[in-house]
Chains A and B, each alone.
Chain A
Amino acid sequence: GQNIDQPTEMTATEGAIVQINCTYQTSGFNGLFWYQQHAGEAPTFLSYNVLDGLEEKGRFSSFLSRSKGYSYLLLKELQMKDSASYLCAVTDSNYQLIWGAGTKLIIKP
């Protein structure tokens, strides 16, 4: 079966750095997405990786290793507004999006 694993919840301190991991086992691979979802709101796109390596976008970076079936989202200089759930999603060989259950990130002052 197809599976995406993320930690259920993480806690970090304002101003610090946090890394949210995502591992996947899917039928083929055509890209990996990260979305941010604040409580009671819709998911919004953060990043997309299809090749190995690090993609940096301001305070957020996303890394992919296709050989290991692994990605992480790195958030730097954490702000209270970064408190949200972070969803990892993989596009399989049929271009179907497979979603992880999400990681709830709690930021403490």
Chain B
Amino acid sequence: DAGITQSPRYKITETGRQVTLMCHQTWSHSYMFWYRQDLGHGLRLIYYSAAADITDKGEVPDGYVVSRSKTENFPLTLESATRSQTSVYFCASSPGQEATNEKLFFGSGTQLSVL
């Protein structure tokens, strides 16, 4: 049972390039989330999705795009990467059976460096 997987694990890119981070879950969880984690900050929500074809902005959505055409996939795209987007990105999911007040299951993360 793979659970929730992210790819790539590490990515180096240049400013201005488009980058897509992948997230795949095998549990058929309704909710999926994208967070970024930076030193000195708590996890910050970028985007989330309650179901296929339903997405909503989180706390820090600017410069990011998401889609969810299938329940199991939730890719995150940086349309034109900037140095401020250098961070560790975590995808997470939750079953969605009790509103949104459920524990999250996290992927292993993608460490992104924008040069």
A interface residues with partner B (beta carbon < 8 Å): 4, 30-31, 33, 41-45, 48, 50, 87, 89, 91, 95-102
Contacts and interface: CB of A to CB of B under 8 A. Distances in A.
A100 B42 contact: yes
B106 interface: yes
B43 interface: yes
B109 A42 contact: yes
A99 B106 contact: no
Contact of B90 (A43, A89, A95): A43
Interface residues of B, number: 17
Contacts of A102: 42
Given A31-B101, A42-B90, A43-B90, A99 B107 contact: no
Nearest to A33: B103
Nearest to B58: A96
B27 to A, nearest CB: 14
B53 to A, nearest CB: 21
28 contacts: A4-B42, A30-B101, A31-B101, A41-B108, A42-B90, A42-B106, A42-B108, A43-B90, A44-B106, A45-B103, A45-B104, A48-B103, A50-B101, A87-B42, A87-B43, A89-B42, A89-B43, A91-B100, A91-B101, A95-B100, A97-B45, A97-B104, A98-B42, A99-B43, A100-B42, A101-B40, A101-B41, A101-B42
